């Protein structure tokens, strides 16, 4: 099981305000699928409008990255820049 | 409306063009003469990107009619280097990174040269006020002002 | 000029940029500088109303005018789907983008495009614009962010329901989205605080203010191919949007990046490009479109204005224990203010356990905001850095000391979630404290302010190609438009990696047919991400060079090492061969397998976040309210300065833009929602005589994920100035200003109010 | 926009005829720095633009027994380069030199600034304070007019059909006389004045002010000549009390509006601040 921290309201609207959720996953692809199954809409939201940070590195297009029970996983809004 | 036939001197060479009365010198230089080094930033005299010398005076070419150049001399950025040899200001701007995007650069160089031609020992304040009509949004002006001052110092030393 | 570390030959030196001579001699070709045979001039019909229904558009008179070759309205644009597309800056809804390019049923701001024409001359195009008759039904409008949130405010989109709240609202409103970030227990945090400061702040929208107006030349062929020449922060972004909006295969679109005359985020979207393509396709001729300065101000940019409440609590000994912020940010006519990053960055410079930030993305009848240098961060961090100063004063602690005490460091959990790696916040504060500037006494009516700033920086897609030419010189191709010297830093990194003379490497920013997808030149990413691609491509070329040497020497490739620009035997066991230079190997290339090259196509990860701390001295004329910036120092952790001059230039330029934001830049509307200052005369960007020299201190804490340690540097510098200036003005006058800009009338009014 | 004719007559008579024939549809090109902006912005669409720069009477600065005659096409830069004019009328010259950038200075003229009749025109308050006159030429010959009578309201002037300003004249002045012009702008350059204030004064041998004129710009539809401020100066040594009275009188006389550049309260206050500062500078110049 991996622990996923949802820091923003954009994500927690799908979890009834829950900011920490756990799902079974070995990589981001599985994690997003599992989140969608558990909280319908959340996986789609992550794919469309959010980034995932794993162990401090922000990934705008996460998919195949491995995650483990020790990983620090945060779901964030996408960041651009000027 | 009949176009005016204008004969003028641009960067030391005689030039002729046809222009409509409402066309600005900036329009004419860019569209009729093909000298696109002079840039348009505002067309209202507020940014200085279109600076050229007209009969030895620094002007915004967007505030001069093309027809007014009849019989006058015009100097643009394309005439600043002497063939392969850059003007000391151009060289210093490269060495000191006094440009980022480079869009205001032709106007700044023309204006700076106009200053150094009449005053080779300007104070920082004099350079800043002289160039106040040349907007630069990239550099914060620091390196531009230094490059002009350093060129002046070189010219005095030479 | 001898500050480069010994281990580098080129990195850290001040080379001449490869595009420099073109740019000081007027040869460089920007967006408006291309002329094609038979080219037409395109112009735009814009809405005179802030909010109106389009009842009808009659183009017949314009079409009948001699010299007019094409007229288009929204009917000429394919209907766009409301699908979010990832390009340019974060996610953009294609339908909104389409409406912004050309209005379909309704205009949502003054200056929105409703039609466009192409004619043989500019003058005829202008007359055609005047002949297009648009019938409007004017609707009530709303400009201000707080007014737009009121229950009785005119609603811009009747299908927009606030996202991020549960349950989903039943009534449409101008609040597009709510975001929230929390860390720890905010109530417990404030309960533990000895001092709590809570203040409201506002900022006005400000324009990026690039000197080059938007410009494009489009040439649509009868066979469906489209060539676009334009000035943008990403020609691949232009391709993505044009393909999506006009439903053209990307392979048929070739976009060439003209030199770009500034962008600062403002050229990360399209305005004219789809119109020029449509006009070209309708007329069968190339079309050039160039915005006037007035159009730039009315219809492009700016960044959000905002209203916010910032609350911070600290213990007596100066430990910040709780931070709370509420941000209301203007998105313009469609959703998409940078409220997310504003919320995430607000308290990021500090190591605080309990944080809550709530943000709202609010639409109103003004043009759609677009990225501006660290989008959102200058706004939220302005309020926060003012409150940090107030805390310092309340606690009787030096403001830099308070920042040092609470600075985020490696391992700090940021409020937006992530734990920081190696970062330089502590170092920037320490360097600022150590400056002579910070210790210099001030005179009457003078004040000193400090502020810090944080920005994430980003990575993203970049590609690079290295080709070793027959003579050993090196051609470098990449696709990140060079907005401020990046060709130089790319060539320096290639030269350093390959071990050749920098001036033997010629970098080119090539068109969309000639390289792979690149994310925009934005997010302070190019030296980091495209630089990583360049180093990777160079290493691939080195591997190939080693392989060629191995063939020539008839040894295994493992037996060949690359050192100082030469292939050498790894040890004497390999054999006794003279080192071969790049030129030697290039001369033998045809006999050893053909041309030699290296390529890399990457999605760069691991951009290093960056911090800066600025010091500003001002003098305020108490009678006129005029603020003079006397002295300015910008300190920043830059990771590694590849070309220190251009890094310093980023700090200086960002500081100048921030000073303008703080003091004089703003959008002014009349009661009809019309912009009153659409020009450089009354939209007051700083001029040369407004500023002092801007001293810079570059701190180098290398980013471990980049081969040379690069962090993005372009955006952080615009963040601290707003509060640094505000804190200096507060120190000079004894009055805290809660609204930007602090223009002379605003200063006199506030001082009169305070007596 | 189009259909505009361009004429560059060589004589006053030709110019007058062109202007008169155009019947109000003509615009004069002197420096062109307002005209071209208005053309480009579509604010005006003249049938003919008459360039008066080829008319020799509009050229040069002539000094005659302490008086000066400044041609209508003389630029601010040319005025600044004239040492005698700058010494005698530093306030008039600084007003003209504050119009725009170095680039604008190479083109913009005082006569154009006057006839364009912006309430915020930088060169006008000092001209009026100086008691300047101008020569107006037209179909009925020429007339001498006080510059104060040229602007009649924002963008409006008193010139009749076919008329234009040929030159501006500054009178000879006694010893111990000087002037000053100050304006308030948000930046240090390139802005339109939010408030302008000109002071012209004459001191006697022991430093007592014998004559004064205080004129405000940008705080009303036209310039405002503040008689009470002048009265406060006359008879004084231009000391602190007198300067405070000048400030109070100037603020009291100002009738500004709220607009994008400033508020009523701000302009009213700053009118006083600048008037008193300009008076102090003028007095200092007159003493030295």
pLDDT tens digits, one per residue of C10-19: 999 999 999 9
Give the per-residue pLDDT at A69.
94
Nearest CB to D186; choose among C294, C744, C749: C744
Q: What value does the mean pLDDT take over residues C721-727?
A: 98
Domains contained in chain A, number: 1
Residue C4 has pLDDT above 50, yes or no: no
CA angle, residues C615, C619, C625, in degrees to nearest 5? 125
Residue D123 has pLDDT above 70, yes or no: yes
Q: Could you report the per-residue pLDDT of C344-354, keeping only the tens digit for each?
A: 999 999 999 99
D155-160, long-range: CB < 8 A, 24+ apart: D155/D116, D155/D117, D155/D118, D156/D117, D157/D114, D157/D115, D157/D117, D159/D115
Q: What percent of chain D clears pLDDT 90, i.e. is strictly above it?
A: 96
Residues of chain D with C-beta less than 8 angstroms from the C-beta of C664 = 186-187
pLDDT beneath 70: ranges in chain B = 1
Tell how strand C320-332 and strand C355-363 pair up: parallel
Residues of chain C with C-beta less than 8 angstroms from the C-beta of A74 = 416-418
Q: Could you report the per-residue pLDDT of C650-708, keeping only the tens digit for each?
A: 999 999 999 999 999 999 999 999 999 999 999 999 999 999 999 999 999 999 999 99
The strand ranges marked E within chain A are 2-6, 20-23, 50-54, 57-59, 73-77
Q: What percent of chain C clears pLDDT 70, i.e. is strictly above it?
A: 98
CB interface of C with B, residues 106-135, below 8 Å: 122-123
CA angle, residues C30, C34, C35, in degrees to nearest 5? 160
Q: φ, ψ for residue C8 (rounded to 5)?
A: -110, 140
C25/B90 Cβ within 8 A:
yes
The gap between the terminal CA atoms of chain B, to the nearest Å, is: 53
DSSP string, D51-93: E-TT-GGGS-EEEETTEEEEETT-BHHHHHH-HHHHHH-HHHH
**Interface check B89 vs D, CB under 8 A:** no
Identify the band that residue D2 occupies on the pLDDT scale cut at 50, 70 and 90: low
CATH code: domain B4-79 is 3.10.20.30
**CA–CA separation, C747 and D187 (whole Å):** 14
**Interface check C434 vs A, CB under 8 A:** no
Give the per-residue pLDDT at C91.
64
Can you state the percent helix, strand and coil of chain B, rounding each to 5? 40, 20, 40
Q: Which of C190, C180, C254 is nearest to C217 (CA)?
A: C254
Find which of D266, D275, D276, D280 to mutate to test the C interface (most C CBs within 10 Å of its CB). D266
Give the per-residue pLDDT at C1.
37
Q: Are D51 and D36 in contact (CB under 8 A)?
A: no
Beta carbon pairs, A and C, within 8 Å: 124
Give the residue numbers in A contacting C (CB under 8 Å), as ranges.
Answer: 5, 7-10, 12-13, 16-17, 19, 48-49, 53, 55-61, 72, 74-82
Residue C140 has pLDDT above 80, yes or no: yes
Q: A–D contact (≥3 CB pairs within 8 Å)?
A: no
Domains contained in chain D, number: 3
CATH code: domain B88-157 is 1.10.150.120
Contact partners, residue C3, CB within 8 Å, separation at least 6: C12, C644
Nearest CB to D1; choose among C127, C626, C680: C127
Other beta carbons within 10 angstroms of residue C640's beta carbon come to 25
Q: Is the peptide bond before D73 cis (omega within 30 degrees of 0)?
A: no
Q: Where are the domains of chain B?
A: 4-79, 88-157
Any domain includes A67: yes
Residues of chain A with C-beta less than 8 angstroms from the C-beta of C183 = 7
C744/D194 Cβ within 8 A:
yes
Any domain includes A38: yes
C419/A13 Cβ within 8 A:
no
Residues of chain B with C-beta less than 8 angstroms from the C-beta of D100 = 45, 133
Give the per-residue pLDDT at D117.
95
DSSP string, C124-185: HHHHHHHH-EEEEEE-----SHHHHTSTTSPPS-TT---BT-SSPPSS--SEEEEEEEEES-
Q: B–D contact (≥3 CB pairs within 8 Å)?
A: yes
C653/B140 Cβ within 8 A:
yes
Q: A–B contact (≥3 CB pairs within 8 Å)?
A: no
B134/C688 Cβ within 8 A:
yes
How far C30 CA sits from the closest chain B CA (Å)? 8
Any domain includes A53: yes
Find which of B58, B63, B75, B118 to mutate to test the D interface (most D CBs within 10 Å of its CB). B63
Q: Are A30 and A45 in contact (CB under 8 A)?
A: no
Residues of chain B with C-beta less than 8 angstroms from the C-beta of D2 = 1, 20, 22
Q: Could you report the per-residue pLDDT of C108-131, keeping only the tens digit for each?
A: 999 999 999 999 999 999 999 999
The verdict on D188 and D273 lying in the same domain is yes
Tell how strand A2-6 and strand A20-23 pair up: antiparallel
Report CA-CA distances (Å) from D119 to D75, D92, D185. 20, 17, 14
The strand ranges marked E within chain B are 4-10, 13-19, 51-54, 57-60, 73-75
**Interface check C503 vs B, CB under 8 A:** no
**Interface check C28 vs B, CB under 8 A:** yes
Q: Could you report the per-residue pLDDT of C693-702, keeping only the tens digit for each?
A: 999 999 999 9
Mean pLDDT, rounded, of chain C:
96
**Interface check B148 vs D, CB under 8 A:** no
Give the per-residue pLDDT at D1.
46
Give the per-residue pLDDT at D33.
95
B77/C691 Cβ within 8 A:
no
Q: Could you report the per-residue pLDDT of C474-485, keeping only the tens digit for each?
A: 999 999 999 999
Residues of chain B with C-beta less than 8 angstroms from the C-beta of D41 = 44
Q: Are C628 and C686 in contact (CB under 8 A)?
A: no
Q: What value does the mean pLDDT take over residues C54-81?
A: 96
Domain extent, residue D42, equals: 5-51
CATH number of the domain to which D10 belongs: 3.30.43.10
How far D177 CA sits from the closest chain B CA (Å)? 28
Give the per-residue pLDDT at C86.
60
Q: What value does the mean pLDDT take over residues A4-18?
A: 87
Task: Return the HEC string of B14-55.
Answer: EEEEEECCCCEHHHHHHHHCCCCCCCCCCCCCCCCCCEEEEC
Residues of chain C with C-beta less than 8 angstroms from the C-beta of B122 = none
Give the per-residue pLDDT at C90.
54
Q: Could you report the per-residue pLDDT of D256-277, keeping only the tens digit for each?
A: 999 999 999 999 999 999 999 9
Q: Could you report the per-residue pLDDT of D158-212, keeping only the tens digit for each?
A: 999 999 999 999 999 999 999 999 999 999 999 999 999 999 999 999 999 999 9
Question: Given a contact as 3+ CB pairs under 8 Å, which chains touch C?
Answer: A, B, D
Q: What percent of chain A clears pLDDT 90, i.e. is strictly above it?
A: 59
Nearest CB to D36; choose among B24, B114, B133: B24
Domain extent, residue A44, equals: 2-77
Residue C87 has pLDDT above 70, yes or no: no
Nearest CB to C689; choose among D184, D189, D192: D189
Class of the CATH-defined domain C20-27+459-604: alpha beta
Q: Could you report the per-residue pLDDT of D207-244, keeping only the tens digit for each?
A: 999 999 999 999 999 999 999 999 999 999 999 999 99
SS3 state at C237 = helix
Q: Which residue has the tokens 């009808």?
A: C56
**Interface check B55 vs C, CB under 8 A:** no
Nearest CB to D263; choose among C682, C689, C745: C745
Residues of chain C with C-beta less than 8 angstroms from the C-beta of B96 = 645
Q: Are C425 and C611 in contact (CB under 8 A)?
A: yes
CATH number of the domain to which A32 belongs: 3.10.20.30
Kindly report, as residue ranges, where domains of CATH 3.90.1170.50 are found in chain C. 34-139+212-261+267-299
Could you name the CATH architecture of C306-457+608-753?
2-Layer Sandwich (3.30)
Q: Are C479 and C542 in contact (CB under 8 A)?
A: no
Give the per-residue pLDDT at C6.
55
Q: Is the peptide bond before B6 cis (omega within 30 degrees of 0)?
A: no
CATH code: domain C34-139+212-261+267-299 is 3.90.1170.50
The verdict on D242 and D149 lying in the same domain is no
Q: What value does the mean pLDDT take over residues C20-45?
A: 98
Q: What value does the mean pLDDT take over residues C362-377?
A: 96
C748/D266 Cβ within 8 A:
yes
């Amino acid at each position: 099981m991996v622990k996923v921290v949802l820091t923003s309201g954009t994500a927690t609207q799908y979890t009834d305000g829950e900011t920490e959720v756990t799902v079974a996953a070995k990589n981001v692809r599985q994690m997003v699928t599992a989140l969608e199954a558990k909280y319908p809409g959340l996986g789609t939201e992550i794919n469309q409008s959010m980034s995932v940070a794993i162990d401090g590195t922000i990934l705008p297009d996460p998919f195949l990255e491995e995650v483990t029970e020790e990983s620090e996983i945060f779901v964030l809004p996408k960041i651009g820049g000027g | 409306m009949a176009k005016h036939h204008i004969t003028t001197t641009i960067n030391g060479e005689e030039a002729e063009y046809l222009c409509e009365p409402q066309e600005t010198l900036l329009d004419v230089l860019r569209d009729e003469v093909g000298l696109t080094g002079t840039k348009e930033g505002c067309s209202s005299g507020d940014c200085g990107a279109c600076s050229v010398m007209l009969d030895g005076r620094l002007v915004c070419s967007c505030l001069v009619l093309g027809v007014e150049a009849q019989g006058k001399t015009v100097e643009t950025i394309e005439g600043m280097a002497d063939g392969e040899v850059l003007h000391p200001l151009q060289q210093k701007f490269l060495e000191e990174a006094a440009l980022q995007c480079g869009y205001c650069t032709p106007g700044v160089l023309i204006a700076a040269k106009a200053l150094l031609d009449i005053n080779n020992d300007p104070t920082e304040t004099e350079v800043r006020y002289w160039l106040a009509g040349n907007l630069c949004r990239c550099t914060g002006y620091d390196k531009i002002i230094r490059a002009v001052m350093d060129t002046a110092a070189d010219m005095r030393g030479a | 000029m001898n500050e480069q570390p010994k281990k580098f030959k080129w990195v850290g030196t001040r080379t001449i940029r490869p595009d420099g001579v073109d740019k000081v001699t007027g040869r460089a070709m920007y967006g408006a500088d291309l002329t094609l045979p038979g080219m037409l001039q395109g112009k735009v019909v814009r809405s005179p109303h802030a909010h109106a229904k389009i009842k009808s558009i009659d183009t017949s008179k314009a079409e009948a005018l001699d010299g007019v070759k094409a007229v288009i309205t929204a009917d000429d644009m394919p209907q766009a789907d409301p699908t979010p597309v990832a390009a340019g800056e974060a996610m953009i809804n294609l339908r909104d983008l389409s409406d912004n390019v050309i209005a379909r049923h309704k205009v949502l701001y003054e200056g929105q495009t409703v039609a466009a024409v192409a004619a043989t001359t500019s003058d005829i195009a202008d007359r055609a614009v005047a002949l297009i008759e648009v019938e409007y039904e004017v609707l009530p409008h709303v400009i201000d962010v707080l007014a737009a949130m009121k229950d009785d405010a005119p609603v811009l989109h009747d299908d927009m329901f606030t996202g991020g709240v549960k349950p989903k609202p039943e009534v449409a409103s101008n609040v597009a989205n709510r975001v929230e970030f929390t860390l720890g227990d905010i109530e417990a945090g404030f309960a533990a605080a000895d001092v709590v400061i809570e203040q409201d702040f506002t900022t006005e929208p400000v324009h990026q203010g690039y000197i080059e107006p938007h410009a494009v030349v489009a040439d649509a062929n009868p066979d469906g191919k489209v060539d676009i020449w334009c000035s943008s922060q990403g020609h691949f972004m232009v391709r993505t949007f044009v393909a999506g909006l006009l439903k053209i295969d990307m392979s048929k679109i070739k976009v060439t990046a003209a030199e770009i005359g500034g962008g600062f985020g403002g050229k990360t979207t399209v305005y004219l490009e789809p119109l020029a393509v449509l006009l070209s396709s309708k007329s069968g001729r190339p079309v050039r479109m160039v915005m006037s300065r007035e159009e730039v101000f009315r219809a492009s940019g700016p960044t959000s204005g905002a209203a916010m409440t910032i609350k911070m609590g600290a213990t007596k000994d100066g430990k910040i224990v709780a931070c709370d912020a509420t941000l209301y940010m203007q998105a313009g006519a469609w959703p998409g203010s940078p409220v997310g990053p504003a919320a995430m960055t607000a308290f990021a410079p500090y190591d605080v356990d309990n944080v809550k930030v709530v943000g709202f993305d609010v639409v109103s009848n003004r043009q759609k905001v677009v990225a501006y240098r660290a989008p959102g961060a200058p706004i939220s961090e302005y309020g926060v850095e003012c409150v940090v100063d107030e805390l310092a004063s309340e606690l009787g602690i030096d403001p830099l000391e308070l920042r040092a005490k609470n600075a985020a460091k490696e391992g700090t959990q940021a409020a937006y979630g992530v734990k920081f790696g190696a970062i330089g916040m502590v170092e920037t504060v320490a360097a600022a404290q150590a400056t002579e500037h910070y210790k210099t006494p001030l005179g009457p009516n003078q004040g000193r302010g400090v502020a810090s700033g944080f920005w994430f920086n980003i990575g993203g897609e970049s590609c690079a190609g290295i080709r070793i030419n027959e003579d050993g010189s090196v051609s470098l191709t990449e696709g990140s438009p060079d907005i401020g010297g990046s060709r130089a830093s790319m060539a320096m990194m290639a030269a350093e990696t390959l071990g050749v003379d920098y001036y033997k490497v010629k970098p080119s920013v090539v068109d969309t047919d000639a390289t792979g997808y690149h994310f925009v030149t934005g997010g302070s990413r190019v030296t980091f991400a495209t630089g990583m691609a360049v180093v990777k491509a160079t290493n691939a070329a080195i591997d190939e060079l080693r392989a060629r040497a191995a063939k020539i020497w008839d040894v295994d490739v493992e037996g060949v090492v690359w050192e100082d620009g030469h292939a050498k035997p790894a040890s004497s066991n390999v054999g006794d061969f003279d080192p071969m230079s790049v030129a030697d190997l290039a001369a033998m290339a045809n006999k050893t397998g053909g041309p030699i090259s290296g390529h890399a196509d990457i999605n760069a990860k691991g951009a290093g976040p960056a911090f800066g701390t600025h010091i500003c001295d001002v003098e305020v004329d108490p009678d006129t309210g005029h603020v003079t910036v006397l002295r300015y120092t910008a300190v920043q952790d830059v990771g590694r300065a590849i070309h220190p001059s251009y890094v310093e230039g980023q700090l200086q330029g960002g500081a100048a833009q921030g000073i303008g934001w703080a003091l004089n830049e703003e959008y002014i509307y009349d009661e009809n929602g019309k912009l009153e200052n659409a020009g450089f005369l009354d939209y007051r960007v700083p001029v040369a005589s407004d500023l002092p020299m801007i001293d810079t201190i570059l701190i180098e804490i290398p980013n471990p994920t980049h081969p040379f340690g690069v962090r993005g540097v372009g955006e952080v510098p615009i963040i601290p100035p707003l509060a640094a200036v505000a804190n200096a003005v507060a120190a000079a006058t004894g009055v805290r200003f809660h609204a930007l800009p602090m223009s002379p009338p605003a200063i006199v009014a506030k001082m009169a109010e305070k007596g | 926009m189009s259909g505009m004719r361009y004429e560059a007559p060589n004589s006053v008579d030709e110019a007058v005829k062109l202007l008169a024939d155009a019947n109000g549809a003509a615009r004069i090109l002197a420096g062109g720095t307002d005209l071209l902006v208005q053309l480009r912005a579509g604010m005006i669409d003249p049938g003919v633009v008459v360039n008066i720069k080829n008319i020799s009477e509009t050229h040069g600065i002539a000094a005659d027994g302490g008086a000066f005659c400044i041609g209508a096409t003389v630029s601010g830069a040319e005025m600044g380069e004239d040492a005698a004019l700058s010494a005698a009328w530093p306030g008039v010259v600084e007003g003209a030199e504050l119009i725009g950038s170095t680039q604008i200075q190479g083109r913009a003229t005082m006569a154009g600034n006057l006839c364009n009749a912006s309430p915020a025109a930088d060169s006008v308050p000092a001209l009026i304070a100086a008691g300047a006159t101008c020569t107006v030429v037209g179909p009925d010959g020429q007339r001498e007019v006080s510059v104060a009578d040229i602007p009649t309201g924002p963008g409006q002037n008193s010139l009749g059909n076919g008329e234009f300003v040929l030159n501006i004249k500054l009178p000879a002045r006694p010893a111990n006389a000087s002037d000053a012009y100050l304006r308030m702008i948000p930046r240090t350059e390139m802005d339109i004045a939010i408030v302008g204030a000109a002071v012209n004064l004459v001191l006697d041998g022991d430093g007592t002010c014998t004559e004064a004129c205080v004129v405000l710009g940008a705080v009303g539809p036209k310039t405002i000549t503040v008689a009470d401020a002048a009265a406060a100066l006359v008879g004084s040594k231009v000391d602190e009390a007198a300067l405070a009275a000048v400030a109070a009188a100037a603020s009291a006389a100002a009738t500004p509006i709220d607009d994008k550049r400033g508020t009523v309260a701000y302009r009213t206050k700053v009118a006083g601040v600048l008037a008193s500062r300009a008076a102090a500078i003028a007095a200092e110049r007159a003493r030295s």
